[in-house]
Structure 1
Amino acid sequence: MTLFLIMADQRLFGTNGIRGIPNDDLTVDFAIRVGKSIGMFVSGDVAVGRDTRISGDMIASSVLAGLMATGHNIIDLGILPTPALQYYCKNHALYGVMITASHNPPQYNGIKVIDRDGTEIERPSEEKIENIYSTGSFNMVRWEDVGRIRYVSDAIDQYIDGVLSKVDVRRIKERRFRVLVDTGNGAAYASTPKLLEKLGCSVVTLNANPDGRFTSRNAEPKPENLKELMALMANGNFDLGIAHDGDADRVVFIDERGNFIDGDKSLALLVKNFASASDIVVTPVSSSDTISDVCSAIGATIIRTKVGAPIVARTMIQNGAVIGGEENGGVIYGKHQYCRDGAMTLSLMLDLMARSNRKISELIRELPPYFLEKRQIERTVDWGLLERELRKGEKVDTTDGIKIIKDDGWILIRPSGTEKILRVYAESTDMAMAKKYADQYVAKIRDLQEKLG
């Protein structure tokens, strides 16, 4: 049993929706009950989409059955990126449900609820759905009032048109960029190549077929999973390499020499060029201080939040922020929509390269030099016990998890909201020191868990 599907009066929703393993804890019966719970909370027609996972049809059908049993008509958008569903919900003022486990391995799937403004629902709304689930307060409609399914085939086209409206298409087309894109067999297998073609790019694709087993590579767009893409970039004549996660709300970039660009650096680069003095930029405590330095240089104000795209998005809305996002390639561009959006992010990057007439490696080199190391370790003991031990004698920030502040850097340790692991981030202006801190605290956590366990 996985950690994040907990019955009765406890949480169902993690950092990004409900996650689990189909026919283990994410069962058909569970998904139907969740569908009925969502149905009792939302109103009107409900838009539904899914990524390419093998279990997508089964989980989607189960959730849809619950929604229709509570009287909701379904607008089935098929396989598409999560931000494409969110764009459809925003434009049509509809609630939505996305069946995806994003970057998780292929055996996982999940259920994400989208609000009528296109954002992921807030925690108070999740709590209401959890309470309905727990109490079983379902109102089944009469047979003649059950919902029906209507299929819509142009949601991706609407989404692409929305993205194109926010960049200078003519300028990008003039550059005739040569782009190598790895969609990872995920939800953007058709949409991102189509978008790039509309931007006048010469497109070469990797893994641009829907394979729910992710047999070509892991869905998480990390350097160790993108070796083929990086090798082709190093040996080919490409301007930019692009890789998505499973549901394409994130994107990472590879430069023309085959070098992986960390998500915090691509976010900082976009902040530097698309935010202005007096603007507000929102990012979690896990993001690099590169972004802080960039904001200081342009006169923008930075707000740090807990980790989680919905938290960042809501904070952006509350403060009227234009741009924000996370260090994992999840950029939120408020002029388009308040959610992580891989297609919007890659379009902004191409727009920047076109208007600057410079290579992405040259643009990245101008950013303040920070080095961020990431690790993860299985969590085997209660987080509260571990946190108390880790903070002893340290200067800490407890916005999310525990951020240990050093004179020459920082270390953030926090429990994942989607997996039973601890995520460890370490940053310094010295690469060796960042690696030292990361390794040191992973070892310390391992020792503490053995002691406390």
Structure 2
Amino acid sequence: MIQFGTGGWRAFIGEEFTKDNVRLVAQALSNIMINEQVQDKGFVIGFDRRFLSDKAGKWFAEVVAANGIKVSFIDKFVPTPIVMFQTKEMGCIYSACITASHNPADYNGVKVFIEGGRDADEIITQKIEQQIAHLTQQDVNALEFEEAVTAGKIEIINPMNAFVDSIIDFIDIESIKKANLRVLIDPMFGVAKNALQTVLINGRCDVDVINDGENPAFGGLMPSPSAATLYRLKHLVAHEGYDIGIGTDGDADRLGIIDEKGNFIHPNEVLILLYYYLLEYKGWKGSVVRNIATTHLLDKVAADHGEKCFEVPVGFKHISSQMEADDSLIGGESSGGLTIRGHIKGKDGVFASSLLVEMISVTGKKLSEMLDEIYAKYGYAYTAEGDCTFKPAEKEALYNKIYVEKQLPEFEYEIEKVSYEDGAKVYFKNGGWVIARFSGTEPLLRIFAEMEDKPTAEKVLNEMKAFLSL
């Protein structure tokens, strides 16, 4: 059964991620475009470096083209943000990228984007699922890829330069040129290197790259930038004199940052750094949007500058929608995705990394110094994270415990309120919080806790984790 979660459709290669199912998704989306009479707007397709991604991109294109929709096909692996950028540039109503983002190597999938280059919302993904439910393979139209190219139904494009130029035009490239920074990039065998390295070399940075090359197994690691997976980046930055280490996930929409001392900067801190920098140093104005599992220190930074902080459910589509509604300055999530007003409406690890390099160039301060400045003003908060795995048969019992019976541990901290908008989130009167929610992409129960220090946050996290363990 093909189901779309917060990050699109993801499935095991060879089990659910198959040629037949990829074509079903493509036919369903084609039907929607025809029904909405937007097939004349064209369709952008891109793919990442995962096993079968290039072939699956062609399978998808063959179906869309056979339905009379002009396809703009990016024939080299690219960051997902480039597909979103090109969707916006071409005025397409729909587009897709073959990727499973940061999932393990044996997954692949499809991300669908809508007008403006945003993640498809639930209304669209439900339409796709409903279409698929009524389709068989006999309903799928398809052309041979080369035949469709020859007939002009598929156009080969390469928007890399335009995307890179858009970032260079956005950031303060002249300040970066003067800073003479040393930068180490870890694309985690994903797709970020070409775009990010080009931006930074334009800024006269001394750039080195590790973990690049063709490796569908991602070197045996999850292609998700974290303190654990970026251990080599941490070591090299600390011992070889780099100003910053930049890690990006499999499709380059998320980032993980290492400071000049070799310390991992949590994505929460990255978001705080950039929002604070834009308000305090650049004098920009605007609210911030965070998801329900992201640090509340953003609320303090916003309030101190007379701005609002909006909380939305997990899924970047909710962030981009709220940003559009309030013309927010920045939006992001604790998993490492963010964007800025004026750029694309989806998360972009290449752009966010470039902006961080601008920040340390303009301020003349090291990453650790910028964080110290922020914590001196707003206080410290630590976010602890943990996952509970469960078997499919156990999900109903967990769901009932959380949502129906609404059971909670006996916390020693006074509770202000509990929200069930997206998972179960407990807000404590001391400003801390803990949330448990089902992952939209994997069979996991994700738990986050933010408190005034690491021991307290981990204590609250473990209490929730133990309570929900089956």
TM-score, with normalisation over the residues of structure 1? 0.92
Mapped to 2, the partners of 1:423 and 1:293 lie a distance apart of 25
After superposition, the C-alpha distances for 1:280-331 in whole angstroms (9 at most, x for unaligned) are 2111111111111111111110000001111111111111112111112211
What corresponds to 2:311 in structure 1?
304
The equivalent position to 2:349 in structure 1, one of 318, 323, 342, is 342
User: What residue ranges of structure 1 are gaps of 5+ in the alignment?
Assistant: 1-5
Identity of aligned residues (%): 27
SS in 2 for 1:32: helix
Mapped to 2, the partners of 1:257 and 1:278 lie a distance apart of 31
The equivalent position to 2:154 in structure 1, one of 149, 162, 175, is 149
What corresponds to 1:98 in structure 2?
97
Mapped to 2, the partners of 1:205 and 1:159 lie a distance apart of 20
Q: How many residues align?
A: 437
C-alpha contact (below 8 Å) 1:333/1:339 kept by paired residues: no
1:315 maps to amino acid: Q
What corresponds to 1:381 in structure 2?
395
After superposition, the C-alpha distances for 1:352-411 in whole angstroms (9 at most, x for unaligned) are 111111111100112231000010111333243120343477641223101112344211
Q: By how many angstroms is 1:424 displaced?
A: 0.4
What corresponds to 1:3 in structure 2?
none
SS in 2 for 1:381: helix
Mapped to 1, the partners of 2:284 and 2:189 lie a distance apart of 40
**Alignment RMSD (CA, Å):** 2.1
Of stretches 115-124 and 163-172 in structure 1, the one that deviates more from structure 2 is 115-124
- Alpha carbons of 1:277 and 1:301: their partners in 2 closer, same or farther (altered >3 Å)? farther
Mapped to 2, the partners of 1:226 and 1:364 lie a distance apart of 20
SS in 2 for 1:165: helix
Of stretches 409-418 and 192-201 in structure 1, the one that deviates more from structure 2 is 192-201
2:386 maps to amino acid: R
What corresponds to 2:458 in structure 1?
435
Residue 188 (1) aligns with residue 195 (2)? no
The equivalent position to 1:242 in structure 2, one of 231, 243, 246, is 246
User: What residue ranges of structure 2 are gaps of 5+ in the alignment?
Assistant: 34-38
C-alpha contact (below 8 Å) 1:242/1:251 kept by paired residues: yes
What corresponds to 1:390 in structure 2?
407
Mapped to 1, the partners of 2:333 and 2:322 lie a distance apart of 13
Mapped to 2, the partners of 1:348 and 1:360 lie a distance apart of 13
Mapped to 1, the partners of 2:303 and 2:464 lie a distance apart of 30
Q: Counterparts of 1:209-220 in structure 2 under 5 Å? A: 209-215=213-219, 217-220=221-224
Residue 19 (1) aligns with residue 33 (2)? no
TM-score, with normalisation over the residues of structure 2? 0.88
C-alpha contact (below 8 Å) 2:185/2:193 kept by paired residues: no
2:316 maps to amino acid: A
Q: Counterparts of 1:22-421 in structure 2 under 5 Å? A: 22-42=13-33, 43-44=39-40, 45-77=42-74, 78-94=76-92, 95-136=94-135, 140=141, 148-153=153-158, 155-215=159-219, 217-275=221-279, 279-367=286-374, 368-379=379-390, 380-382=394-396, 383-387=398-402, 388-391=405-408, 395-408=417-430, 409-421=432-444
Of stretches 249-258 and 275-284 in structure 1, the one that deviates more from structure 2 is 275-284
1:343 maps to amino acid: V
C-alpha contact (below 8 Å) 1:187/1:210 kept by paired residues: no
1:442 maps to amino acid: K
Mapped to 1, the partners of 2:285 and 2:57 lie a distance apart of 44
C-alpha contact (below 8 Å) 2:222/2:229 kept by paired residues: yes
Mapped to 2, the partners of 1:210 and 1:84 lie a distance apart of 20
- Alpha carbons of 1:69 and 1:272: their partners in 2 closer, same or farther (altered >3 Å)? same
